[in-house]
Amino acid sequence: MHAEPRVSIHPDSKVLMAAIAARLITKLVDVQDKHGEATVVLTGGTVGIGTLKAVADSAAAPAVDWSRVNFWWGDERFVAADSDDRNTRQAHQALLSHLNVDPARVHEPGSTDQFATAAEAATAYEEELRAAAEAEHAADMSDDRPEQPGNLPRFDVLLLGVGPDAHIASLFPEQGGIREKSRTVVGVENSPKPPPSRISLTLPAINTAQEIWMVVAGEDKAGAVGLALAGANPVQVPAAGPAGRARTLWLIDENAASRVPQQLVRKDPAGA
């Protein structure tokens, strides 16, 4: 069962990123109160990295026990580990290097320094996710624990940007990655957006997240946002595919909102 999407529109990208940061801090505190730890899946892009910088700049950031936050990534560029193209490198510069994180909880997809191909890096990331799921299952003493561990740990919040072509993570329209049903991670070659080799969570993996936050700014994204919220086919419009188990939030600025169906728009406070 997945929730219907909710849309929250903010005046501009700067306000948007500050609002997402405030919402993320609040959510992580709430999840830690319940589970003792929290897991977030990060995204790159202007809004994704700008949001992380806004978290670092927030006076409320110390409310989170950052040493008990697990970090994963929805996708990564398959380049050298020290490349500025890496989402992980940008996330460290914007946020992680400023926090008391536990390095063992920071799960970066592999780089060209470690693997010969994106497919090999994807398989390794898939195995790392599976191992985390097994460890989480072993530690779970609750009455409703499933009999068998799944292939993925619990994702409390998963952040996703959207490209002008409606791609999400590194799942591009009509390509094999968006069609993948059985894998949790895929290697991507011939990406229409450079660099050509990437690693990405698949849509089925993305949709195990408790909450998915689609974070989008810019007039060049308006068409993609409108098509996604109008219920387009995810193979043609990957942004139409994400659906969180508990909540799917579209957190967007006014420039990206011009083609959003009005019945989906709710002017709700940042923490709602």
Q: pLDDT tens for residues 190-224? A: 999 999 999 999 999 999 999 999 999 999 999 99
Average model confidence (pLDDT) for the chain?
A: 93
Lowest mean pLDDT among 87-101, 145-159, 207-221: 145-159
Question: Which residues is 168 bridged to in the sheet?
Answer: 171
Could you tell me if 50 and 17 are in contact, meaning their C-beta atoms sit under 8 angstroms apart?
A: yes
Helix (H) or strand (E) holding 29: helix 13-35
Helix (H) or strand (E) holding 130: helix 118-139
Please tell me the number of Cα atoms within 13 Å of 234 on its side-chain side: 18
pLDDT tens digits, residue range 59-77? Answer: 999 999 999 999 999 999 9
* Cα–Cα distance measured from residue 265 to residue 98, given in angstroms and rounded to the nearest whole number: 35
Residue closest to 78 by CA, chosen among 56, 110, 106: 110
Reply yes or no on whether the pLDDT at 146 is more than 80.
Answer: no
> Three-state SS for 122?
helix
Q: CA–CA distance from 265 to each of 43, 232, 250, 261, 269 (Å)?
A: 24, 18, 9, 7, 13
Mean pLDDT of 17-35: 97
Whether the predicted model's global pTM rises above the 0.85 cut: yes
Q: Would you call 49 exposed, middle or buried from its count of C-beta atoms within 10 A (0-12, 13-18, 19+)?
A: buried
